[in-house]
Amino acid sequence: MIDVVITETIRDIDCKTWNDCFPGELENYETYRAIEESGIPGFSYGYARVLENGVCVAASAFFLTEYALDTTVQGYWKTLFGAFKQFVPWMMTLKLLCIGSPETENAHLGFHPSVEEPCKPEMLGRLLRETERFARSRGYWLLAVKDVPARQRALWEEVAVPRGFTPLASLPTAVLPIRFRSIDEYLASISHATRKDMRRKLRNASKVRVELKRDIHDVIGPIMEMYRDTKERSDWTFEDLTPTYFLETLHQMGDRALCPIYYLEDRPIGFNLLFLDQTRMIDKFFCMDSAVGRTVNLYFKSWFVNVGICIERGLSVYQSGQVGYANKLRLGSVLLPNWMYFKHRNPAIHMLLCWLSPILEVNQDAVALGKV
């Protein structure tokens, strides 16, 4: 017997039950619990599971929010959308149910290891059908899937597109393969001009001290100031994180999360939130006091600290996330593509969104040139 169950808190799901569907996934049950308990304003959450004879064989998470259409729009269009929002706010902000999470790297779709490949489309179809039914019951008209990685794109294409979902290119993920045994070897792998520039920047940053922490209660005030400073300077803002997010993430994830704090003398001027396991590191957030951090090249200091941690721990991948591609490409990263899918339950509005999709879609040429 096969059932699909939706719950609105991950606390109703056993940790092992969830994680068994996501073997080897760094962002797992503890990550979602930390997100849920963070009290991020404007978001609520749900979790869909396929149960076969009472055993969870497939799972996905989703979130619900009021989504502004100009969230991913840049330049001239950002200004134009902002003007429209003043006059027709109901048209520019839609009730969204999105598979994925505002805080995870990809739209996590997981299967129990016992599920064979030919069975996965049926499982995803059941999850998607029940999630759409849930959205309809709550009055959410726009449905989306956030950041599908290349390894699962064919599955989503097979199942989601026939159900009326339209695909869009999303922001790619920057990844640095760690194929070197020392920082010197790493420097030797990048271009001569970049290597020379990095050596100069690191000399300038030598006065900065770093402390690796898992308990940040004593610096949570400066951390939030730096987070807000960075958020105000960013064109890509979706959520507003709380102090609890950072504290709960470090608490829930234990030794799989780390927070380097950067000090100039005794003053915190920057921090990273890192996730790591036996194979890779995910750089979730880098934030700094911009007035001070730029003068000491703090971004590059943090990059080399993170690469050093990867080398020391024998990790094979440093995943530095989305946006800010110019420096990441200079420093040897490659870009892994992601896709998103959307569907509005009103056919006319869906057609309008499809017409707008070239504006909403990520400009892949700009990404390739490091302009995003």
Give the pLDDT confidence of 68-104 residue by residue, as tens digits. 765 555 554 455 455 455 544 555 578 999 999 989 9
Alpha-carbon distance of 148 to 329, in angstroms, equals: 22
Residue 133, both tokens:
């039914």
| CATH 3.40.630.30 given to domain 174-335 | yes
pLDDT in the model for residue 67: 77
What's the CA gap between 68 and 135, in Å, rounded?
18
Q: What is the pLDDT of residues 216-250, one digit of tens each?
A: 999 999 999 999 988 887 766 667 899 999 999 99
More confident residue, 82 or 175: 175
- Closest residue by Cα to residue 44 from 172, 139, 153: 139
Residue 285 predicted with pLDDT over 50? yes
Could you tell me which residue, 230 or 67, shows the higher pLDDT? 230
pLDDT at 82: 53
CA distances from 251 to 49, 115, 121, 280 (A): 26, 32, 36, 20
Cα(233)–Cα(226) distance, integer angstroms: 11
293 pLDDT above the threshold of 60: yes
pLDDT at 305: 97
Q: What is the CATH number of domain 2-171+338-368?
A: 3.40.630.30
Decide if 2-171+338-368 and 174-335 have a common fold.
Answer: yes
pTM: 0.89
Domain extents in the chain: 2-171+338-368, 174-335
Average pLDDT, the chain: 89
Helix axes 150-160, 120-137, angle to 10 degrees: 70
Please state, in angstroms and rounded to a whole number, the distance separating the CA atoms of residues 270 and 222: 9
